[in-house]
Homo-oligomer: A and B are copies of this chain.
Amino acid sequence: MARAARKPRFARQPPAVRRQALVDATIECLKRYGHEGLSIRTISAQAGVSVGLINHHFPNKDELVAAAYRHINSELVLGMQAAVARAGRSPQARMRAFLEAWFSAPSLDADALAVWVVFWGLYRHSRLIQRIHRETYQGYVSLLREMLAELLPQPRTARSRRAGRGGAAASVDLHLAAIGLTALLDGLWLEWCLEPGTFRPAEAVELCEAWVAHLVRRSAAAASR
Interface residues of A (CB under 8 A from B): 33-36, 110, 114, 117-118, 120-125, 175-176, 179-180, 182-188, 190-191, 194, 198-199, 203, 206-207, 211, 214
Contacts and interface: CB of A to CB of B under 8 A. Distances in A.
A188 B199 contact: no
Contact of A187 (B123, B175, B187, B214): B187
A176 B121 contact: no
**Chain copies in the assembled complex:** 2
A211 B218 CA distance: 12
Nearest to A124: B114
A211 B194 CA distance: 23
Nearest to A172: B203
A26 to B, nearest CB: 15
19 contacts: A34-B121, A34-B124, A35-B35, A35-B121, A35-B122, A36-B125, A110-B124, A117-B117, A121-B121, A123-B194, A176-B207, A180-B184, A183-B183, A183-B186, A183-B191, A186-B190, A187-B190, A211-B211, A214-B214
Given A36-B125, A121-B121, A214-B214, A188 B198 contact: no
B176 A203 contact: yes
Contact of A114 (B121, B176, B188): B121
